[in-house]
Structure 1
Amino acid sequence: MELKPIKQSFSVQYDYQLHFTKDLFHKGNTLFLDIIEDYKDYEAVKLFFVVDKGVAENHPQLLSKISSFCGLHSNHLNFTQSLIIDGGEQSKNHAAYIDLVLKGINENAICRHSFVVVIGGGAVIDMVGYAAAIAHRGVKLIRIPTTVLSQNDSAVGVKNSVNIFNKKNFLGTFAPPYAIINDSDFLDTLEQRDWIAGIAEAIKVALIKDKDFFEYIAKNAEALKERQLEAMQYVIYKCAEMHMHHISQGGDPFESGSSRPLDFGHWAAHKLEFMTNYNLRHGEAVAKGIALDVTYAQLIGLITKEELTTIVDVMRTIGFDLSLPLNSDMEVEQLLAGIEEFREHLGGQLTITLISGLGKKHDVHEIDIKIMKQAIEKLNHQMAIK
């Protein structure tokens, strides 16, 4: 008897929504309650909160507001605990933080019909999302991002990750959240560098997808630098919308191919973060990575000098320092090693996204290292004389 292979295929529908609000846990705001009731309205749903320490310190009433809000709606919200976690990239660098979240999930008996609710910046959201995805093979997650970068980029996708082996995002999962909630109140207390840093991801997606959006950012560069909320809210909304549309319409939401256009500028950014011991914010590193890659694109004839000048001037007007912190030939070589690490992370053929004009994505499958070194020199020279 011949035993033929048994083959099957199946598809899984993923649905999640991004909500916008202000003062989420005010007793008169029912958005959070509505989201939980939409999931289950006949009994209280168990909730385990994980809060970025910096957010808790900058919003000293937050923890009491969460517990009071849940108490007010105890028929639907079963509050268990608010765990405070150190914020920043360090939360992704040490397994002890993952263990703390897993311990909380276990001790509070959070099951696959319960929710982990994470409130914080992109790094904390990445780490807590990873822990939630591996507990019970996945417990439900609500993300409440508190920085510009996490509200417009890192928290609106389907990825979770932590760092190991000196490599950014080496461990991770594809696990869409149940919902994301952007609360504009959290932006008020951001340091200026964090306010600015997240704009890099909006510039990135505008440059590869939407010339009109880039022109909006250019026109409002001073307003963004000066923290005008209306301009920033539009940038966050448009950037998040474009990211989510790419995930659903791009045909490769779990990155099974070799092209990763939303990581434009990121091969250098990831390496620069590591080389600076993560003293660079992710968005700051992305801005430098974009500046380097558009300089390279100009040197190989993909974009004009005028387009390069426009891009660099917009980023500098917003407040980005685009110089590359490289002090020796050895450090230049260390940065360039990030190209192969970028290929290795995704696998398959090297694919680096560049642009061939404002709003025009252009993938290349090889990098001329000699010209990339020229791009490094040109960018740093340009930053030194302005």
Structure 2
Amino acid sequence: MNLTSISQTFSVNFNYKLHFTNGLFELSNPFFINLIREYQNDGQVKLIIVVDKNVSDANSNLLDDISSYTLAHNAHIDLKEIIKVVGGEASKNKQANVERIWKSINEKSICRHSFVIVIGGGAVIDMVGYAAATAHRGVKLIRVPTTVLAQNDAAVGVKNSVNAFEKKNFIGTFTVPYAIINDFDFLKTLDQRDWISGVAEALKVALIKDADFFEFIQNNAKQLSDRKMQAMAPLIYKCAEIHMHHISQGGDPFENGSSRPLDFGHWAAHKLEQMTNYELRHGEAVAKGIALDVTYSYLIGLIDEQTLNQILEVFYTVGFDLALPISNTKTVDKLLKGIEEFREHLGGRLTITLISGIGKKHDVHQIDKERMQQAIALRSIEQQLFS
């Protein structure tokens, strides 16, 4: 018997939406219940809600508001449990946090027609998303990001992950959330570090994709530093829009290739987070990583002195500290190890995104080690090249 290969091709359409509201769990706000009823109008939908402890601590009425809201709509919502989890990058470092979500999904009989709702910063959303994506091969997830970084970047995409082997996002999935809900009221309780941290991701996409967006950030840098919502809200919207368009129109939503332009500045950022035991916020590390890579772009002749200083000045005005935590040759070598780890994480050929101008990305496939060491030295002493 001569057997030949069987080949089949299929495609799957994904649809997910990013919504905007204020006061998500206020009784007068019908948005959340309408979203649930849109999925299933007859009978109850089972939910478990996972809340970042940092968020519940900062919003003292949140858990009571959730309980009151779901009770008021108990004809359609069957709230099984509210779980508080540790916030920040620490949430992604212990398998026990994932197992706690799995345990609740199992014990509360959460099925693939139920929902896991996660309310928190990007790290908690990553961790809970991974747990939901791997239980029953995928329980429906609704993300409610509560930081600038999560609302404009971390919660917008299709990635979920936890850390392992001292590597960020080593274990994870690509899973499309059912919905994302940005409630701007959560941003009011952020401390200053978290308020400005997410601006780094907006500057990232502006620098590689949209010169007009960079100009908006430049013109509003002081207002962003001063916590003006009239500047932050359009920044979040535009940044999220660019991210979602990239995912849907970029042709590689699950990153099968070796290029990740939206990770501009991230090879260093990921390593800096690990080197500082995650004391750096992700956005803070991204700001440092972008500053390093634009300095390197200058040193190899991709951008001029004026462009470099223009970019750095915007970061400084927003409030970022761009100094690298580098004190000796050993730490320089440790940071440079992040280049190979980045290639390994992507797989295949090394691809590092730089810029050849504002709004103009430029991919390179090798790094001049001597020039990069020079860039690291310049960024380690916290000065503009031509002050």
One fold, TM greater than 0.5?
yes
Secondary structure in 1 aligned to 2:381?
Answer: helix
| Matched residue, 2:317 | 317
Q: Which residue of 2 aligns with 1:196?
A: 196
CA RMSD in angstroms comes to: 1.0
Deviations 1:38-86 (A, max 9, x none): 1111111001000000111111111111111111111111111100001
Are the counterparts in 1 of residues 117 and 144 from structure 2 also a CA contact under 8 Å? yes
| One-letter identity of the residue aligned with 2:379 | L
Distance 2:22 2:56 in 1: 17
Residue equivalent to 2:295? 295
CA–CA distance in structure 2, aligned partners of residues 382 and 76 of structure 1: 55
**Aligned runs of 1:163-312 on 2, under 5 Å?**
163-312=163-312
CA pair 382-57 structure 1, distance change in 2 beyond 3 A:
closer
Q: How far apart, in 2, do the equivalents of 1:376 and 1:96 lie?
A: 37
Report 1:110-125 matches (<5 A): 110-125=110-125
What's 1:139 paired with? 139
Residue type of the alignment partner of 2:59? H
User: Counterpart amino acid of 1:71?
Assistant: L
Distance 1:380 1:280 in 2: 15
1:169-227 deviation digits (Å, cap 9, x = unpaired): 00000001000000011000101000010000000000000000000000000000000
Q: Which amino acid in 2 is paired with 1:309?
A: N
* 3-state secondary structure, aligned to 1:224: helix
Is the CA contact 2:309–2:384 (under 8 Å) kept in the aligned structure 1? Answer: no
Q: Distance in 2 between matches of 1:109 and 1:335?
A: 45
Offset from partner CA, 1:308-361 (integer Å, 9 cap, x none): 000000000100000000111000000000000000001010000000000001
Residue 289 (structure 1) shift: 0.1
Q: Give the partner amino acid of 1:97.
A: N
Letter in 2 for 1:87: G
Cα deviation for residue 380 of structure 1 reads 2.5
- CA separation in 2, counterparts of 1:157 and 1:31? 22
- Partner in structure 2 of residue 67 of structure 1: 67
Alignment of 1:43 with 2:43, yes or no, is yes
Matched residue, 2:90: 90
Aligned residue type for 2:328: S
Unaligned runs of 5+ in 1: none
Aligned 8 A contact 2:144 2:183 in 1: yes
The offset of 1:384, in angstroms, is: 8.5
Q: Check the 8 A contact 2:202/2:235 in 1, yes or no.
A: yes
Distance in 1 between the 2:149 and 2:126 partners?
12
Q: Secondary structure at the match of 1:327?
A: coil
Deviation at 1:381, TM superposition (A): 3.4
- In 2, Cα distance between equivalents of 1:175 and 1:27: 31
Look up the match of 2:330: 330
Q: Deviations over 1:66-112 (max 9, x none)?
A: 11111111111111110000100000001111111111111111100
Cα drift, residue 232 of structure 1: 0.2
How far residue 382 of structure 1 moved from its aligned partner, in angstroms, is 4.6
In the alignment, the residues of structure 1 paired with residue 193 and residue 62 of structure 2 have an alpha-carbon distance, to the nearest angstrom, of: 23
2-side partners of 1:107 and 1:241: how far apart? 37
Q: Offset at 1:378?
A: 1.8
**Amino acid of the residue matched to residue 251 of structure 1?**
G
Matched residue, 1:104: 104
Amino acid in the other structure paired with 2:271: K
AA of the residue aligned to 2:319: G
Partner of 1:29: 29
Between stretches 71-80 and 239-248, larger displacement belongs to: 71-80
User: 2 CA distance for matches of 1:137 and 1:122?
Assistant: 22
8 Å Cα contact 2:268/2:339 also seen in 1: yes
Task: Indicate yes or no: 2:362 matched with 1:362.
Answer: yes
* Structure 2 counterpart of 1:165, one-letter code: F
2:10 paired residue number = 10
**Distance in 2, Cα, partners of 1:227 & 1:380:** 28
- Match for residue 53 of structure 2? 53
The alignment-based identity, stated in percent, is: 64
2:323 maps to amino acid: S
- TM-score, normalised via structure 1 length: 0.99
Note if contact 2:322-2:382 (Cα within 8 Å) is conserved in structure 1: no
Which residues of structure 2 form unaligned runs of 5+? none
Q: Give, in angstroms, the shift of residue 155 of structure 1.
A: 0.1
Write the letter of the residue equivalent to 1:18: L
Give secondary structure in 2 for the equivalent of 1:157: coil
Residues 275/196 of structure 1: CA separation in 2 closer, same or farther (3 Å cut): same
Q: Aligned partners of 1:62, 1:360: CA distance in 2, in Å? A: 43
Q: Write the distance in 1 (CA, Å) between the matches of 2:332 and 2:47.
A: 47
Letter in 2 for 1:118: V
Deviation at 1:132, TM superposition (A): 0.2
Per the normalisation by structure 2, the TM-score is: 0.99
Q: Deviations over 1:98-153 (max 9, x none)?
A: 11111111111110000000000000000000000000000000000000000000
The answer to which of 225-234 and 55-64 deviates more is 55-64
Aligned residues: 386
- 2:231 aligned counterpart, secondary structure: helix
SS of the equivalent of 1:383 reads coil
Q: Distance in 1 between matches of 2:244 and 2:164?
A: 27
